[in-house]
Amino acid sequence: MTITKPSLPWLHVQFDELLKNRQRLAHAYLMAGHAGLGKLDFSLALARALLCQEPTPHSCGHCQSCRLFDAGNHPDLHILQSERQTLDRDDLSARYAVRHLPADTGRKGRKPSTVIGIDQVRDCLPDIQSRPHIAARRVIVINAADDLYINAANSLLKVLEEPPPDTHFLLISHEPARLLPTIRSRCLRVNFRQPPHEQALKWLGDKLDDERRAGQMLARARGLPLRALTLADERSGEADAALEKLLASLARRQLDPVAAAAQLRKFDSSGQVLSWMQRYLADAIRAKLAPGERQQNTGWDLIDITKRLNFRELYEFLDMVSLQRRLLEGPLDENLAFEDILIRWQQMFSTRGVR
């Protein structure tokens, strides 16, 4: 593996810029921007450069530190990530994150947590207070700070207020506005923006070996290249299409909500279903605000059906979906939650005669 630089080409200029001032690096960075731009890739490449024993100023790739980093064994790198995310990924970040997760992570029948808990923060505190083991400094990557449970965020804040020497915190955030302002103010912000269309298209086209499809996926993902790659993953593309069809059939009364809820249980996770619904509703609201504009995440059929709803109904339904999504992190019955949502959905169309 070579991660001397981030693997994503649109991050290179920003990366070089940051490392130019190697002597004046901040103790905490906030990597801010939409999901799907490569903030984790960037943070890992930066962590590797910070830990490298022979930096150029990029990481050298052959010193002891670089080798341990790549093997997933660097004692001075810590990654905090939710259980859910760690179990969903099979990459370097998961190898590091698992160190600070509870011992029974992944046990059958236990629902993986979607937040970063205080125990995870506490688990790496003793290490933060001591000297780095082999590198000149240590790095803590938080992927993502949005997932910090409130007491975990407060505990982290205390460390950020009196940062231990030789320690760098790299906080990733997809929604920085929702972080504690006191956390934001302790970090130097690095903003991630959408790459130029041509560059993203070339990258995705090479990945998919199909430029036309790359263009379609990129449009659906609103120009976020990594999100586009996920969409292109056939299974997730199929899932989106199946969800669209299901909501359309419900609106047309070709399906009843209880049967539809049972179908939803076949999806990978309830979080996936509800986050798709949130994206779709955001699309539907945008489509009403700007009727001529093409909506990227959702097919025309569903957007067309949704035109019959008013803003109030759409916002209330979005609130309902968001609330259920939060509740599903607790011991809520998934089936009942889906049924509630789908019954409400069908009711909204009951007097509107969708064909």
Radius of gyration of the chain (CA): 22
Report if residue 26 touches Zn ion, rule: CB under 5 A. Answer: no
Shortest Cβ 341–Zn ion spacing (Å): 51
Binding of Zn ion by 87 (CB under 5 A) = no
**Residue recorded with tokens 């449970």:** 149
- State the number of binding residues for Zn ion (CB under 5 A): 5
For residue 52, state whether it binds Zn ion (rule: CB under 5 A).
yes
Closer CB to Zn ion, 50 or 214, in the complex: 50
Q: How many CA atoms lie within 13 A of 301 on its CB side?
A: 13
Cβ within 8 Å of residue 241, ≥6 positions away: 299
The residue among 66 and 226 lying less far from Zn ion, judged by its C-beta, is 66
Asked whether the beta carbons of 65 and 51 are under 8 A apart, the reply is yes
Stretch that binds Zn ion, among 28-36, 49-57, 238-246, 308-316 (CB under 5 A): 49-57
Q: What are the C-alpha distances in Å from 181 to residues 34, 126, 161, 168, 176? A: 18, 26, 13, 19, 9
Residue 298 burial class via C-beta count within 10 angstroms: exposed 0-12, middle 13-18, buried 19 and up = buried
Query: CA 312 to CA 71: how far, in whole Å?
Result: 52
Q: How far is the CB of 60 from Zn ion (least distance, A)?
A: 4
**Which residue in 63, 124, 282, 318 binds Zn ion (CB under 5 A)?**
63
Which C-beta is closer to Zn ion: that of 25 or that of 63? 63
CB of 49 to Zn ion, least distance (A): 8
* Residue 167 backbone dihedrals phi, psi, to 5 degrees: -130, 135
Give the one residue of 32, 35, 49, 66 binding Zn ion; rule: CB under 5 A.
66
Contact between 51 and Zn ion per CB under 5 A: no
Interaction between residue 60 and Zn ion (CB under 5 A): yes
* Residues of this chain that bind Zn ion (CB under 5 A): 52, 59-60, 63, 66
